Amino acid sequence: MDWNLVLRLVVAGLMGGLVGLERELRAKEAGLRTHFIVALGSALFMIISQFAFGDAQHDAARVAAQVVSGIGFIGAGVIIFQRNAVRGVTTAAGLWVVAAIGLACGGGMWIVAGTATILTVMCLEAVHFLHKRYGEKTIGLSADCRGEGEVKDILQRFKDAGIDVESWSLSKGRVTFELHIRQKDYINLLPSILSSLANPSVEILG
């Protein structure tokens, strides 16, 4: 029985780590270690609730319910509000799911835990692929500029590249643009435009 419980802990950690690895590769707020520990801890709580009290009368579901409530504190810690945009919600949801996977492993529900892990990773990867190909973002771009004539030239480059300019301003020899750009254009087209500008800087706005 002891080795069976150890196996539950190991599998929970590995499944949580698999989800965490995807988050780690995307440089998100919580990575492999956090997801591994959350899944492992959830499985441990489940095992304790089931087997630690012997024949004494107890409610095993009570500990599991507390895990569901407690994981919210960790999830809230990875959510940040920056420049009118909320970030980290997907990672927080991943931690919530990983906690459930850990509970399933702690309860010996191998197929359910494995299916949930696979579906979670598939969802995260699919969304990342779609966002990379079709997603959009808003960026702030500034560069040194000699006047409105040069600004028109830059605007024409953006137009030719299919990049939408939300607004622009010129102050003290420096022009600032707010651009609405597709993710694939941000990766493929923007670097060539930046190389033609004087002292450019880019900031992600949303």
**Residue 77 shares a structural domain with residue 143:** no
Q: Give me the percent of the chain exceeding a pLDDT of 90.
A: 4
Give the range with max mean pLDDT: 60-69, 95-104, 121-130, 180-189. 95-104
Look at residues 77, 110, 133 and tell me which one is the last residue of a structural domain.
Answer: 133
Q: Which residue has the higher pLDDT, 82 or 164?
A: 164
Q: From residue 61, how far is each of 67, 105, 107, 185 by CA, in Å?
A: 10, 14, 11, 50
Q: Are strands 164-171 and 80-82 parallel, antiparallel or unpaired?
A: unpaired
**Residue 161 shares a structural domain with residue 185:** yes
User: What dihedral angle (degrees, nearest 10) is formed by the CA atoms of 6, 9, 13, 15?
Assistant: 100
Segments forming the whole domain that contains residue 97 = 2-133
Query: For position 205, what pLDDT does the model report?
Result: 67
**Residue 94 shares a structural domain with residue 81:** yes
**Residue 72 shares a structural domain with residue 102:** yes
Query: For position 15, what pLDDT does the model report?
Result: 92
The model's pLDDT over 44-86, given as tens digits with 9 standing for 90+, comes to 888 888 776 666 556 667 777 788 778 877 777 777 755 555 6
DSSP line for 16-70? HHHHHHHHHHTT-SS-HHHHHHHHHHHHHHHHHHHHTTTTS---HHHHHHHHHHH
Q: Which residue has the higher pLDDT, 42 or 57?
A: 42
